Amino acid sequence: MKSAGRKDLKLRTREFALQIVRLYTTLPRTTVAQVLGMQVLRSGTSVGAHYREGTRARSDAEFISKLEGALQELEETAYWLELLLDAGVVTEAAVADAGREAEELTAILITCVRNVKERMGGRERR
């Protein structure tokens, strides 16, 4: 059960990264677009890396830490997507799918972290 779900999430976070890469390649070559684009490219492609690191975790605490890192990257990605939109660099249509996927992945990873913490008996990693 665990590995099938993780495999799906590995693929999904990789597809999210590719979605972000494709978005970046469509951005105008203006300074603002490229600076904001590099930020979203970095954070958006880091989500899957954090998740994959988590799947190799040696403990529940390490797993939680890696997923919380992925959650931070998702939040940052959403921020940069909003800035790209609000700055008029992209249209709503250009970022809508990536924004939705960031929200969905956030909900999934929050649930994963919550489930592991509950299984641990509420113990924190600190």
Q: In this predicted structure, what is the pLDDT of residue 4?
A: 54
Q: How confident is the model at residue 52 (pLDDT cuts 50, 70, 90)?
A: very high
Cα–Cα distance for residue pair 103/106, rounded to 1 Å: 5
| Helix ranges restricted to H, 1-126 | 2-26, 31-55, 60-86, 92-119
What percent of the chain is modeled with pLDDT above 70? 90
Task: Give per-residue pLDDT as tens, 61-101.
Answer: 999 999 999 999 999 999 999 999 999 999 999 999 999 99
In a domain, residue 124? The reply is no
| Host domain of residue 113 | 2-119
Counting Cβ atoms within 10 Å, is residue 37 exposed (0-12), middle (13-18) or buried (19+)? buried
Neighbours of 65 (CB within 10 A): 17
By C-alpha distance, which of 10, 15, 20 is closest to 67? 10
In a domain, residue 16? The reply is yes
| pLDDT for residue 126 is more than 60 | no
The answer to whether the CB of 51 falls within 8 A of the CB of 10 is yes
In a domain, residue 93? The reply is yes
Q: What is the DSSP letter of 126?
A: -
| pLDDT for residue 23 is more than 80 | yes
CATH code for the domain in which residue 75 is found? 1.20.1440.60
Full-model pTM: 0.89
| pLDDT for residue 6 is more than 60 | no
| pLDDT for residue 59 is more than 60 | yes
| pLDDT for residue 44 is more than 50 | yes
Counting Cβ atoms within 10 Å, is residue 115 exposed (0-12), middle (13-18) or buried (19+)? exposed
Please tell me the total count of domains within the chain.
1
Q: How confident is the model at residue 121 (pLDDT cuts 50, 70, 90)?
A: confident
